[in-house]
Amino acid sequence: MIIENSPTILSVQGLRASINGTEILKGIDLTVRSGEIHAIMGLNGSGKSTFAKVLAGHSAYEVTGGIIQFEGKNLLELPPEERARAGLFLAFQYPIEIPGVANTQFLRLAYNTVQAQRGKEELDPLEFDDFVREKMKLLEMKPDFLDRSVNEGFSGGEKKRNEILQMALLEPKLSILDETDSGLDIDALKIVASGVNRLTNKDNATILVTHYQRLLDYIVPDFVHIMQAGRIVMTGGKELALELETRGYDWISANKQQAMAGVRA
Amino acid sequence: MSEATHPDYLECLLKSWQAKPAESLSWLNQLRAQAIDRVSTQKLPTKRDEEWRFTDISSLTRLPYRPSQPDSNLHIQDIQHLFLDEVKNRLVFVDGHFSRQLSVIANPAFTIGNLPELLSTHAPILESHLGQYARFDSNVFTALNTAFLRDGAVIIAPKNTVVAEPIHVLFIATQSEVTHYPRCLFIGESGSRVTLIEDYAALEKAAYITNAITEISLAANARAQHIRLQRESTQAFHLANCAVSLAHASNYQSISIALGSRISRYNLDVRLTDEAAECVVDGLTVISDRQLADTHTCIDHSKPGGTSHQLHKCIADDTAHAVFNGKIIVRPHAQRTNSSQSSRNLLLSKTAQVDTKPQLEIFADDVKCSHGATVGQLDQEEIFYLRSRGLSEKAARNLLTYAFGAEIISRIPVTSLRQQLEQAVLDQTQSNSL
């Protein structure tokens, strides 16, 4: 939801980043305010996943220019774990598997680490069990899901649900969902989307990184940004995604200028 | 580094051998005499031997350790921390010598005890099994152990006996500069079911040599879980051979954990001698500093319809060196064999080393065999994933290292042992990693 005068959570200005000497992000500007849902769309290779990883602090990418302010802090000075503790969350496109560690152990470790940082009480295994089971209902997850190793042998849909479960536990200020819709059938997509919708509120914000419009039928964005060659080339409202769906990405190049005058200068 | 073997090392050892066991049985004396004959015709292996090319034991010859003498000063509270809650029957050997007062034998429905005590009551069965699987013709360490054979753990599970609680055989080293010769014989008669924990531990950071032999024979439809734990002193040499013989439709599940020793070598030979035998052979090595741990396994399918699955993992830190050689033989008649082998290795430092060698010798055509080996460091994407959830880099590395080992430990069916090991791996990986 767009709320007038709501505080800025994320402010990105002129962000440039490269990997192994190749520049991927070539000057990104983006402002995200409390309560808003932003969608970043683009073809493969446009830089949208790189942008998500740079926000989360992936060390493979070198930031070569620009600034990122997160709730007034200089995000680029913080290692990934401190960004997470400060309230930034990235739901991975490909969540990793950790055989040998039970999902419940991992979830509790992450939860308690972030809780401790916020000066809140940590939960022991029993307390956590009650707490996490409640959150799991949100995503219609089976209880055996807690005892299995982290993501090991999970289906694509289960992995994505596990990501959203972590989002539910960590209660981030800003969630970045990287291709959360990829590999999901329509039922799983609906469950994940409804989970996300119930977690968004006027005090947090969400960035959806996606290739397809499909996800946006279920999580309705306030802003849609189109990325091309490492830049945001067009910004509009939710109708922009529909237009893109009918006209295709080719249409963008021809109409960049027109749309740049978009919803918010 | 010299590979030359001290010429009179074996001679020194042989001088200390005496042909006078108290319980003189002609067949046993004969076995010992044959073994001593074999020792005198053999040499210690060097790195020029293919089977030993990664493991240099020449430093062994600089320490002509004498056989240990019984020392009964140990009290139960000294070793209590090694005990396992689930265990009802425990045999304890101190420096290779049986300790009655530290052992617990709970009057079970199966035979358990020290070899010399059982010689009079169980001579025929002992004679038909002892020394029959761990052949000493070409293995000098097996020959030495057999030559010095005196005490030994003997467990015989009678037909169709199911032993619910695990049996703990604990070998404790207390003395420096001695050699001990632990020996285990486990006989599972048809349809029996047993869990066996073979455990090598030390109370101090002493330098000594363990030369251990274990023989396991499973009759038709017998099942055994064999957990082997090598947590010797980090200054010790541990040289061990385990020979397993599997009869028709028997099932052997082995988990070997190697944490200790300066230099260790474990040979596990499993022979599937009849149809439809099954084995699962898993291993975990966790070493650091200058440790070397070498595991050689051989799974020999000689009859049709056998199954073997193997997962071996090594974690090496500092300048440690882990070796895994996994041989799978499928003989010409062993059709419909199903075999898989996986060797996975984690290097925690730039100077740690792993040598892994799958060795498949397949002479049958209707078989399903797979194998794979990986050597790597912790995955940067995995570390990033955990850090993005708020874990520090150190915590992320520790968790991933622990998880790598925990995959094997989680397969141990004895809860208290699993917990001890989880803690041990946690301690070792957390204190040493970056």
Residue identified by tokens 């590395």 is B397
- Residue of higher predicted confidence among A243 and A38: A38
pLDDT at A188 over 60: yes
Rounded CA-CA distance B354/B346 in Å is: 8
pLDDT digits (tens, 9 = 90+) for A250-262: 888 777 655 554 4
Side-chain half-sphere exposure of A188, counting CA atoms within 13 A: 16
How far, CA to CA in Å, does B230 sit from each of B75, B78, B200, B399? 22, 18, 5, 23
User: Is A193 within the bounds of a domain?
Assistant: yes
**Closest residue by Cα to residue B363 from B340, B341, B333:** B333
Q: Do B390 and A114 touch (CB under 8 A)?
A: yes
pLDDT digits (tens, 9 = 90+) for B157-195: 999 999 999 999 999 999 888 999 999 999 999 999 999
Chain B residue whose CA is closest to A166? B389
DSSP H or E run through A216: none
pLDDT at B19 over 60: no
**The pLDDT of residue B115:** 96
- DSSP-assigned beta bridge partners for residue B323: B294, B355
Q: Is B393 on the interface with A (CB under 8 A)?
A: yes
**Closest residue by Cα to residue B19 from B29, B28, B11, B27:** B29
Chain A residue whose CA is closest to B407? A100
pLDDT at B2 over 90: no
**The pLDDT of residue A100:** 80
Q: Is B392 on the interface with A (CB under 8 A)?
A: yes
CB burial readout B109-135, b (16+ within 10 A) else e? ebbbbbbbebbeebeebbbebbbebbe
Mean pLDDT of B10-18: 69
**Closest residue by Cα to residue A130 from A148, A116, A111:** A111
Number of domains forming the structure of chain A: 1
- Residue A263 banded pLDDT, cuts 50, 70, 90: very low
Q: What are phi and psi of B337, to 5 degrees?
A: -75, 140
Q: Do A57 and B385 touch (CB under 8 A)?
A: no
SS3 per residue for A25-73: EEEEEEEEECCCEEEEEECCCCCHHHHHHHHHCCCCCEEEEEEEEECCE
**CB-based contacts of B424, cutoff 8 Å, min separation 6:** B231, B259, B286
CA distance A165 to chain B (A): 12
Spans of all domains in chain B: 9-274, 379-434
Residue type, B11: E
Q: What are phi and psi of A137, to 5 degrees?
A: -60, -35
Which of B384, B407, B422, B429 to mutate: most A Cβ within 10 Å?
B384
Asked if B263 and B238 touch (Cβ cutoff 8 Å), the reply is: yes
Rounded CA-CA distance B35/B147 in Å is: 5
Rounded CA-CA distance B96/B67 in Å is: 9
Which residues in chain A have Cβ-Cβ distances shorter than 8 Å to B421? none
- SS3 of A246, please? helix
Asked if A183 and A93 touch (Cβ cutoff 8 Å), the reply is: no
Q: Is B200 on the interface with A (CB under 8 A)?
A: no
Sign of CA dihedral A83, A88, A89, A94: negative
pLDDT at B1 over 60: no
Length of chain A measured in residues: 265
- Residue B434 banded pLDDT, cuts 50, 70, 90: very low
Q: Which of A80, A101, A109 sits opposite B387 (nearest CB)?
A: A80
**The pLDDT of residue A256:** 64
Chain A residue whose CA is closest to B382? A96
Asked if A124 and A211 touch (Cβ cutoff 8 Å), the reply is: no
User: Is A2 within the bounds of a domain?
Assistant: no
Mean pLDDT of A122-151: 91
**The pLDDT of residue B430:** 63
How far, CA to CA in Å, does B34 sit from each of B136, B144, B284? 9, 11, 35
Q: Outline where DSSP puts E strands in B317-432.
A: 321-330, 338-347, 353-362, 368-376
- Segments forming the whole domain that contains residue A98: 8-260
Which residues in chain B have Cβ-Cβ distances shorter than 8 Å to A106? 389, 399
Mean pLDDT of B311-331: 97
**The pLDDT of residue B5:** 47
SS3 content of chain B, % helix, strand, coil (to 5): 25, 40, 40
User: Is A1 within the bounds of a domain?
Assistant: no
pLDDT digits (tens, 9 = 90+) for B202-243: 998 889 999 999 999 999 999 999 999 999 999 999 999 999
How far, CA to CA in Å, does A7 sit from each of A35, A44, B151? 9, 32, 79
- Residue B20 banded pLDDT, cuts 50, 70, 90: low
Tokens of A74: 């200089």
**The pLDDT of residue B72:** 67
Asked if A248 and A256 touch (Cβ cutoff 8 Å), the reply is: no
By the 10 Å C-beta count (0-12 exposed, 13-18 middle, 19+ buried), B190 is classed as middle
DSSP H or E run through A235: strand A231-236
pLDDT above 90 as % of chain B: 73
Mean pLDDT of B420-427: 82
Mean pLDDT of A123-141: 92
Eight-state DSSP code of residue B172: E
**The pLDDT of residue A16:** 97
How large is the ipTM? 0.94
Q: Do A100 and B379 touch (CB under 8 A)?
A: no
Which of A98, A104, A164, A175 to mutate: most B Cβ within 10 Å?
A98
Residue type, B282: D
CB burial readout B383-399, b (16+ within 10 A) else e? bbbbbbbbbbbebbbbb
**The pLDDT of residue A257:** 54
Q: Do A100 and B407 touch (CB under 8 A)?
A: yes
pLDDT digits (tens, 9 = 90+) for B379-409: 899 999 999 999 999 889 988 998 899 889 9
Say which CATH number the domain at A120 has.
3.40.50.300
Tokens of B335: 């059709």
Asked if B116 and B100 touch (Cβ cutoff 8 Å), the reply is: no
pLDDT digits (tens, 9 = 90+) for A42-87: 998 999 999 999 999 999 999 999 999 999 999 999 999 999 999 9
Q: Which of A57, A110, A170 sits opposite B391 (nearest CB)?
A: A110
- Residue B413 banded pLDDT, cuts 50, 70, 90: very high
How far, CA to CA in Å, does B288 sit from each of A255, B203, B309, B432, B434? 62, 19, 27, 7, 12
pLDDT at B48 over 50: yes
**The pLDDT of residue B300:** 98
